[in-house]
Structure 1
Amino acid sequence: MNRAATRLRLLAALPFLLALAVDLLLFALWRDRLPDRLATHFGGDGRADGFTATGGFLAVSSGLLAALGAGWTLFVRRRVLWGAWATAGFAAAMLALTLRGNLDVTDPAEARLPLAGLTVALALAALVALAGWALTRLVPEDPAPRAPGTAGAPRLDLGAGELAGWARTAGSLPMSVLAGAFLLAAPVVLLLAPWPYALIPLAVGVPGAALSRVRVTADRRGLTVRPALAARPRLRVPLDDITGATARDVDPLGEFGGWGYRVRPGAGGVILRSGPALAVRRRDGREFVVTVDDAATAAGLLNALVARDGSRGA
């Protein structure tokens, strides 16, 4: 991992460490003023409708911040560093407001969290996001992507009327495990934490699960990438938009700043792991990359199809 990537990941982890410190500090300062059971879920009218033990709240809140911090640290990119800070700021504010709503109540059913509290949390998240945005200047700009040259690129022998296609499934075990953990946490968070928190594991887990295993296809339509278990959503680079393809090794952090669906100046794609990848060059000069085994065969087929279509149009 290069220094820029290390610095970026540290800056992404920092707000969650600060949020955890604030959560633990407030809990310690207010412990004597809190009931044995805390109101941790509130309806739209601000009235408590869900409760948990004080120790359970501390465990869930700490685990939530740790999970969010791990997710952002693994998948953060320079241009969205502010998002990590905004997420941490919102989570810290909601946890603090939940504790404050439980102060000095004898019955946790008396605790209140008015809807205005959500506005306060969003405002704090916006301010913290500005701090995260300002810190991006400490991380160097992403280097220019390596272009897949077409000279010497593989090409299959393909007859004038011959049809051919290629398909492989590519996956990432760490992404699958992480997405599964977030999806399993969603119902627990829904029961034990204020309602907005239930959206967080779903917002991370659903797209994470969709991207953790994909189907890559190269044929007369071009290059298509979609979830392995669903037809949508899908990414497609049409054949008439491809000028050439190669197979090369990819360094996710060094070239794309992480894993998943990545977009950066001049390049983008689906990066699930390091190692072999199929890289296609589009007519506007941009590069689309997907990590997949047997990428050389896919590149050779696309180059043959591009050359055949070009000769037909000549």
Structure 2
Amino acid sequence: MNRSAPRLRALAALPFALALAVHLALLALSYDRLPDPLATHFGPDGGRADGFTGRTAFTAVSTGLLLVLGAGWTHLARRGSLWGAWATAGFTGALLVLLVRDNLDAADPARVESPLTNLLVAVATGALLALVGRGLTRLVPREEPAEGPGLPDAPRLPLGASEVAGWTRATASRPLTALAVLALAATPAVLLLAPWPVALLGLLGLVIGLPGLALARVRVTVDRRGVTVRPALASRPRTRIPLDEVAGASVRDLDTAAVLAEFGGWGYRVRAHRTGVIVRSGETLVVRRSGGREFAVTVPDARTAAALLNTLAERHGKV
């Protein structure tokens, strides 16, 4: 059992709880100073209001948005992605607070303006809270290491006592690339042109597009540090399993049916006892972690990667 899971879920939910508390407190204190309806969508012509929502509906929709995002991150967050939960809560919460501020004491909501600096402030808030979330990662312990590799019959790559070796390959998904590009391209149009609350769907473009683009082409590396999976064009975000957490590695061939049945689709997948970076069907490196969970990544020449990883983990356990 992963003892760090409750603490991780609590830390992932915390920024959304804080953002919701601040947002609802601001609404309660300034409710009588807000117009009805509020200006909730702004056009490209100087940020002038062109969409409006009643106060009650705005309260319900904004509260629901924070709750849904919080629930999603609480369920999906892992130790290495805790910063993403804090960044999302900071960005979304800041936008909502700034929107309320812009509407305060407005006699005519049609004259309310939302300057571009609001978006910059929201981005800066998200970046600052991302650093906070990353700092809090140290409060989440790593899974307890096992005594050594647990797959004695798994493939090995023969290495001499003084030999060192590394392996790296890139793998890509054209459909995921196309989906990510389309999502990002649609985001500005939806945010600027769609009426409220449909405009909120523009945020989904960022939620889908940015992770999708990062996962569209990934690089898998096996070396003395363990196994690392990261975007091919950037060093972050990344998933790394150190050698002392590797209980064994094997190879599977996943067809479409297996991908859907075991992982529920493509992308970064999270299941009860396994996680995976599944960008295509085919040869898959499966790493069994010391805590009992499995990590899988689809990559060509996975057999060589598994053999080298088993050899390095076995050697590491004897040091």
Name 1:36's counterpart in structure 2: 36
Contact 1:86/1:126 (CA < 8 Å) preserved in 2? yes
Count of aligned pairs: 216
Separation in 2 of the partners of 1:98 and 1:137?
34
Name 1:91's counterpart in structure 2: 92
RMSD: 4.2
Per-residue CA distance 1:25-73 (angstroms, 9 max, x = gap) = 1101111110010111112231111111101000000000000001101
Name 2:102's counterpart in structure 1: 101
Per-residue CA distance 1:87-120 (angstroms, 9 max, x = gap) = 0001110000110111111221111110111001
Per-residue CA distance 1:155-199 (angstroms, 9 max, x = gap) = xxxxxxxxxxxxxxxxxxxxxxxxxxxxxxx99xx532495x423
Name 1:62's counterpart in structure 2: 63
Contact 1:15/1:89 (CA < 8 Å) preserved in 2? yes
Is it true that 1:74 corresponds to 2:75 in the alignment?
A: yes
- How far the C-alpha of 1:79 sits from its partner, in A, is 0.9
What SS is found at the alignment partner of 1:41? strand
Separation in 1 of the partners of 2:140 and 2:93?
25
CA 1:108–1:13: 2 relative to 1, 3 Å: same
Per-residue CA distance 1:201-224 (angstroms, 9 max, x = gap) = 345568999xxxxxxxxxxxx724
Separation in 1 of the partners of 2:253 and 2:109?
57
Name 1:282's counterpart in structure 2: 305
* Alignment TM-score, normalising by the size of structure 2: 0.56
CA 1:194–1:131: 2 relative to 1, 3 Å: farther
2:195 to 164, 184, 191: 191
Partner amino acid, structure 1, of 2:202: L
Separation in 2 of the partners of 1:39 and 1:106?
11
Separation in 2 of the partners of 1:225 and 1:120?
45
Q: Which stretches in structure 1 are left out of the alignment for 5+ residues?
A: 154-185, 210-221, 257-266, 271-278, 288-314
Separation in 2 of the partners of 1:29 and 1:70?
26
* Aligned residues with identical type, % of pairs: 45
Separation in 2 of the partners of 1:38 and 1:101?
10
Per-residue CA distance 1:136-165 (angstroms, 9 max, x = gap) = 110012455896726299xxxxxxxxxxxx
Separation in 2 of the partners of 1:40 and 1:235?
37
Partner amino acid, structure 2, of 1:198: L
CA 1:7–1:33: 2 relative to 1, 3 Å: same
Contact 2:2/2:143 (CA < 8 Å) preserved in 1? no
Q: Which stretches in structure 2 are left out of the alignment for 5+ residues?
A: 156-189, 213-251, 268-276, 311-319
Is it true that 1:117 corresponds to 2:118 in the alignment?
A: yes
Separation in 1 of the partners of 2:69 and 2:265?
26
Partner amino acid, structure 2, of 1:149: L
Q: Which has the larger radius of gyration?
A: 1
1:223 to 253, 258, 277: 253
1:151 to 150, 153, 156: 153
